[in-house]
Amino acid sequence: MYLQVVSVAVFVSSCGLSALANAQGSASVGQLPPHPYQKLNHTGYARFVFGANAPGNLVVELRSVFIKAGGQTQLTSLPGPGLLEVKNGAGTISLGKHGKPTALDPANLTKLDMHETATLNNTGGQPLVIQLYLFEAK
């Protein structure tokens, strides 16, 4: 047993992995991520994750949306068309002012039109986490 522990310690040390683990561990403790969640309402939060210019004057942006259990939030005035992907939880989406709620399917992406209002409801007992992919022409 002692020989195995020493062998692992020598391997980790020789690869420089201990310095990497220490650097990664100390960098993330007590610090906010570069783009923390912003409150949308009392149960919904969103944050910018990634954005990039794409060919043909297109800007692609990735946002993360977090809705507390039993909560509801709205996405309004989207700058371009988008796609919703369920990452965790269960919920429904209603499109437009008088849209009928339909279940969000984790196996399929949900299409959003430009300037469309989407009402998201968390119908489960855990947070509903959604990735929102936006496409905007510049």
Domain CATH code at residue 79: 2.60.120.10
| pLDDT value of residue 32 | 66
Domain of 21, in residue numbers: 1-31
* pLDDT for residue 15: 36
Mean pLDDT of the chain: 81
Task: Show the CA angle centred on residue 74, arms to residues 72 and 65, nearest 5°.
Answer: 80
- Regarding whether 17 and 62 lie in a shared domain, the answer is no
**31: Cβ contacts below 8 Å, ≥ 6 apart:** none
For residues 17 and 81, state if they share a domain: no
> Are 21 and 59 in the same domain?
no
Contact 117, 97 (CB under 8 A): yes
- pLDDT grade, residue 3 (50/70/90)? very low
Q: How far apart are CA 109 and CA 15, in angstroms?
A: 41
The better pLDDT of the pair 77, 52 is held by 52
- Write down the pLDDT at residue 79: 87
Furthest C-alpha separation in the chain: 69
**pTM for the structure as a whole:** 0.72
**What is the pLDDT at residue 60?**
94
Quick one: 87 and 124 in the same domain?
yes
pLDDT in tens, 59-101: 999 999 999 999 999 998 888 999 999 999 999 999 988 899 9
Whether residue 66 is found in the same domain as residue 110: yes
The residue among 77 and 125 whose pLDDT is bigger is 125
pLDDT at residue 30, as a whole number: 66
Based on the fold, state whether residues 61 and 109 are members of the same structural domain. yes
> What is the pLDDT at residue 100?
95
Give the pLDDT score at 75: 92
114 shares its domain with 46: yes
